[in-house]
Structure 1
């Protein structure tokens, strides 16, 4: 991870922090590198433009900038072509690749990055800044995608409608999107399975994150009453958290692309599902070390949490973007929590182009995961016959690698 800033006429020194950049590290970068440089060059007449990565929008960072009197420029996270520094990073990367001696370790790489960054001509930076009006105009005129910003900390806090957030991150968050079906409803069976097949000690380090995906408040209210009546103690303990996304988060779901011969109903359903998942991932990125997505109509086996821990440990020497605990769709897909913001952004860029489980496949490819890491036997089985999409039948959707432990 590296950091630097650019402006017309110059650039900051390159910073190579130790480890990942969390909110505390980013605040230090701002305090000791960014703001001193900006004030030396521009006095107090400047605005800070960064992206909407979670550390950049953390409450501690926002409070620090407000105390310093620094204005952050709102910026759509899903429009990388609009950010000029991305092209500066590309120039830097090419310079590293063109070196006669390729860096052999992290220290050599850090030294080479600083050297090439310092050598980058100011004209390169100025041309990037000068290109902004043209690229903004082109994006507005030709882009088929909407631009929007990631939910900020306040919006994420307001998304929690039942339960309470825990003070410290845990081991695992299990995400369950759900809707009020017109016929059978499976949510409580799914929750009961997750509870019955785990111990109180295990649950103290795990969160079940339920996302209410219905737009209609009447349907949401019915589910909230049901969950509160059945799981009040788990809500109080923070083991179960229930969230819903604000309508302002959703892009237009009208006049969507009609790909793959899908009906308008199916295109609407899968496009909205993409946005639903993206909001869940933004919310879940700070709750735990890992995040596991399932559906609201599955059941599991005894020891499923131990199986997750063991499989993660088994793959500790492998670079992976996702581990899989089911062969079906998006059921049982596990991610590093620190990857969720990037996954959510990718989903939002292509929300109307393809189903979310297809985007998941591209996410693995983009992260250079060359093979699927699937735990066998799987630990989740699909049980529902009634999809949230009326025209979709689920009768034959079963995971044949699942081994039921029922007696």
Structure 2
């Protein structure tokens, strides 16, 4: 049988309509079951947003190590943090930090011209705080960062201010009758990024208890405040988005409250929340009071993150959250482990030998940390 041109035209038209109106068939996503049947303990490979994926590339090549074994404190003036390094290690790390944090701005982002010993620029004091913080995290928060540890690259990825930060915000202004009554974010790549930042403020800045699910079907006593429960839900959703997982990566969905039915990752996440609060309260909050910035200045490559009326007291510094280091991956990229091996000076002596540092612990809620001075 010979098919004539009219039939071919009809066939082509049908194929075109099929391509336009029938949705693309997606093959089932491969998942990994982490527990028994029933609680849906299944995890899928993290896809991550395109923005996350572009930030998970390799760091710049390490600068060469200078063969100078003299103590750094004898060769260079005004060394106050990296006092345990020799001169070669010290200069190699200084050059690496420039590549990790301020590749466009160069050394003068922190230093005042040719006088590298000068403390004239506040950014130099901030850099010292960051160095103390990195050494503290690697020495005292191993239950979260492990032996891989963290470096300046873990968060900064070539930018003076990490791309993933959040801001405290003033109350939402009253406007027209269609205005949202809550502080919804005004831009985002996903629904979760539109959630208010109130949950961050409650759980990774303040010491707010995180118990929201009852232990019995018909609980007696006073119910948890609905707004706080909503804030906890928002924070957990933003947290899972930032590390590229869903709830059952840590929790058993039949009993979210029960640690005995949870997975080991829940403890890692719990210590990560404590660690994040430690950074926000003991490092970044004092830094904001001492050195406020505006994010859209000429010496930073960032775009304006918030309109001016929505910038809280943090302004350009911002606070950190899980995504600041994870960038959409359950475990941050493997580059930190290699960098920490190459730069042992970032491991730090630990809190017991540090000049000063905060104490942290647990107190009946999600997390707790002292108000001690990180510096």
> What TM-score range do you get, normalising by the shorter chain?
under 0.3
Structure showing the higher strand proportion among its residues: 1
Select the structure of larger CA radius of gyration: 2
- Tell me the TM-score normalised to structure 1 length: 0.23
Structure showing the higher helix proportion among its residues: 1
- Tell me the TM-score normalised to structure 2 length: 0.25
Which structure's relative contact order is higher, taking Cα pairs within 8 Å and 6+ residues apart? 2
